[in-house]
């Protein structure tokens, strides 16, 4: 009889300051899309800077199963695509691990092919709702079978006779928007998504980069957007350079912000305005963050972030900012715990549908480390006193990489070390996280 190994616990110890220059892994959202869009294009797409975390590798395996040729050599990924609507029926179930982006975006591609496919994931992904993509794709003509509540494993009965729709998103979600637009590529006519609040627009930008006809205009009363894709384009292979992921840069940025005397430069970070809500909020809190050497790479704005540590103050974060920083609320809560005064985070309902119930996980992590807070159905209020938080707690990550990394950053700023029960999920988005942070002067190590 054999026993499975215990999850790898990590411990972060308090440090005086951080200093240095780093480059974080490639943007996860753009990496997923580069592989998917390259697989639907004709010719060879080359991708440099691709994130090689577990989530993106699951996408690579999935598009291979659909018939794309995907190879990597010396950090350059080459994708030979099968064209719009040219994918083949997967021979086996698609296991997407922890990646909600893979599952939801691939659902749009699979729904518009005349075959049946199956997808599943790890324990965390099987708890996440898929009904939000099943409903609009069902209107377009696909059929689905799932567990109760629209949860994985999921059977997708696709069709190549999809019906174009105009769909208003009930919840701001770039993943749902993207699934519909990807299905619309293999649909006659025009498919339109109306988003009452603008969400990250990597899909629209990259579709244009590959030669699709995409129209974007303001929504009613000037709020949100209407995005229309014209079906049956011939996507052409393109070269893609993936910028650093702002959601990954967030951990080094906040760690530097909350330690006075720190001086950190994070190079080549994507600063798409629909992804920079955290940096805007930190600046409102008094953080010294400079956007240096701004440029554009592959249609995406990029800059080097120069961060100097100092005192932060509490602020109110408006709910309409949520779509621009939905993945960064856990690390923002850490910054709020180190600030002086009260920080109110509003409009957080979507956090309950992430890799874990992130709202509950963040609140529990704060409680374990002596940080006063209040939690509601869609808000979190954090009370800071301008001093280092107590720390000393063990945080349950619930297989969530961002919970793990956020509370390790808290451990660097706290009075006592902070431990997370499982550091393994970090590799889904940020392989080498501990080594990168330790290179700046952090002290993150394996614990028992």
Domains, the chain, ordered by start: 10-26+243-446 (3.65.10.10), 28-238 (3.65.10.10)
Given a contact cutoff of 8 angstroms between Cβ atoms, the answer to whether 45 and 239 are in contact is yes
- Total Cβ atoms within 10 A of residue 54: 19
**Higher per-residue pLDDT: 317 or 448:** 317
Lowest mean pLDDT among 123-132, 215-224, 359-368, 427-436: 215-224
At 110-136, the pLDDT tens digits run: 999 999 999 999 998 999 889 999 999
Q: Which ranges of 222-312 does DSSP label H, i.e. alpha helix?
A: 246-257, 277-284
Counting residues of the chain whose pLDDT is more than 70, the rounded percentage is 98
Catalytic residue positions?
327
At 222-268, the pLDDT tens digits run: 778 999 999 999 999 999 999 999 999 999 999 999 999 999 999 99
- Check residue 430 and give left, alpha or beta (phi > 0: left; psi -120 to 50: alpha): beta
Q: Residue 323 — pLDDT band, cuts 50, 70, 90?
A: confident
The pLDDT of 283-290, averaged and rounded, is 98
Q: Scanning the structure block, which residue is given the tokens 């014209």?
A: 230
Q: What are phi and psi of 72, to 5 degrees?
A: -125, 135
pLDDT at position 1 is 33
Q: What are phi and psi of 253, to 5 degrees?
A: -65, -50
Q: Residue 3 — pLDDT band, cuts 50, 70, 90?
A: very low
Please state whether the predicted TM-score (pTM) of the whole model is above 0.85.
yes
The pLDDT of 358-381, averaged and rounded, is 96
Q: Rounded distance, CA 287 to CA 304, Å? A: 16
Given a contact cutoff of 8 angstroms between Cβ atoms, the answer to whether 329 and 317 are in contact is no
Sheet of 444-446: strands edge to edge? 394-395, 418-420, 10-12, 444-446
At 142-186, the pLDDT tens digits run: 999 999 989 999 999 999 999 999 999 998 899 999 999 999 999
């Amino acid at each position: 009889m054999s026993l499975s190994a215990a999850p790898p616990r990590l411990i972060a110890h308090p440090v005086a300051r951080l200093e240095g220059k780093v480059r974080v892994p490639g943007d996860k959202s753009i990496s997923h899309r580069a592989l998917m869009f390259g697989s639907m294009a004709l010719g060879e797409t080359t991708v440099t800077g691709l994130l090689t975390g577990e989530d993106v590798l699951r996408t690579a395996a999935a598009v291979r199963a659909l018939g794309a040729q995907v190879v990597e050599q010396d950090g350059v990924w080459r994708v030979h695509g099968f064209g719009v609507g040219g994918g083949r029926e997967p021979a086996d179930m698609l296991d997407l691990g922890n990646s909600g982006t893979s599952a939801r975006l691939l659902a749009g591609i699979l729904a518009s092919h005349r075959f049946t496919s199956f997808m599943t994931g790890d324990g965390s992904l099987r708890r996440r709702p898929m009904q939000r993509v099943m409903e609009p794709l069902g209107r377009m003509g696909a059929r689905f079978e799932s567990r109760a509540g629209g949860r994985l494993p999921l059977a997708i009965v696709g069709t190549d006779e999809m019906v174009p729709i105009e769909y208003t998103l009930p919840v701001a979600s770039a993943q749902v928007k993207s699934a519909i637009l990807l299905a619309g590529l293999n649909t006659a006519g025009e498919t339109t998504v109306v988003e009452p609040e603008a969400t990250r627009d990597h899909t629209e930008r990259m579709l244009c980069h590959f030669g699709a006809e995409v129209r974007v205009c303001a929504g009613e009363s000037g709020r949100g957007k209407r995005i229309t894709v014209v079906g049956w384009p011939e996507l052409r292979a393109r070269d893609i350079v993936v910028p650093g992921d702002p959601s990954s840069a967030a951990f080094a940025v906040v760690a530097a912000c909350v330690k006075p005397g720190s001086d950190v430069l994070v190079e080549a970070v994507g600063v798409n305005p629909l992804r920079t809500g955290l940096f805007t909020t930190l600046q409102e809190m008094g953080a010294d963050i400079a956007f240096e050497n701004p440029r554009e790479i592959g249609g995406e704005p990029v800059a080097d972030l120069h961060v100097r540590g100092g005192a932060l103050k509490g602020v109110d974060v408006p709910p309409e900012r949520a779509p621009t920083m939905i993945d960064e609320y856990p690390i923002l809560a850490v910054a709020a715990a180190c600030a002086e005064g009260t920080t109110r985070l509003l409009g957080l309902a979507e956090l309950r549908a992430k890799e874990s119930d992130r709202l509950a996980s963040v609140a529990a992590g704060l409680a374990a480390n002596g940080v006063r807070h209040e939690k509601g159905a869609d808000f979190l209020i954090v009370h800071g006193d301008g001093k280092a938080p107590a720390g000393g707690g063990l945080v349950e990550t619930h297989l969530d990489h961002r919970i793990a990394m956020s509370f390790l950053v808290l451990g660097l700023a706290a009075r006592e070390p902070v431990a997370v029960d499982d550091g393994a999920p970090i590799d889904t988005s940020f392989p080498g996280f501990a080594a990168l942070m330790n290179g700046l002067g952090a002290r993150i190590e394996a614990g028992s």
